[in-house]
Amino acid sequence: MLVSVRIIAGSLRSRTLEAPVGLATRPTSDRLRETLFNVLAARIAGAAFLDLYAGSGAVGIEALSRGAARVEFVERAPAALKVLRGNLERLGLRAGFRIHAAAVGAFLRRAAAASKPEPREKRERYEVVFLDPPYDAAEEYAATLGLLGGSALGLLAADAVVIAERRRKERLEDRYGALERTRLLEQGDAALSFYAVARPSAPQ
pLDDT in tens, 149-165: 999 999 999 999 999 99
Residue 146 reports pLDDT greater than 90 = yes
80-123 per-position pLDDT tens digit = 999 999 999 999 999 999 999 999 999 999 999 988 766 555 56
Domains of the chain, residue spans: 2-197
Distance separating alpha carbons of residues 177 and 185, to the nearest angstrom: 22
Q: Are 159 and 190 in contact (CB under 8 A)?
A: no
Pairing of strands 190-197, 179-187: antiparallel
Tell me what pLDDT residue 73 has: 98
Task: Between 29 and 146, name the one with better pLDDT.
Answer: 146
CB atoms within 10 A of CB 116: 9
CATH class for the region spanning 2-197: alpha beta
Alpha-helical segments (H) within the chain: 30-44, 58-65, 78-90, 104-115, 139-148
39-56 per-position pLDDT tens digit = 999 999 999 999 999 999
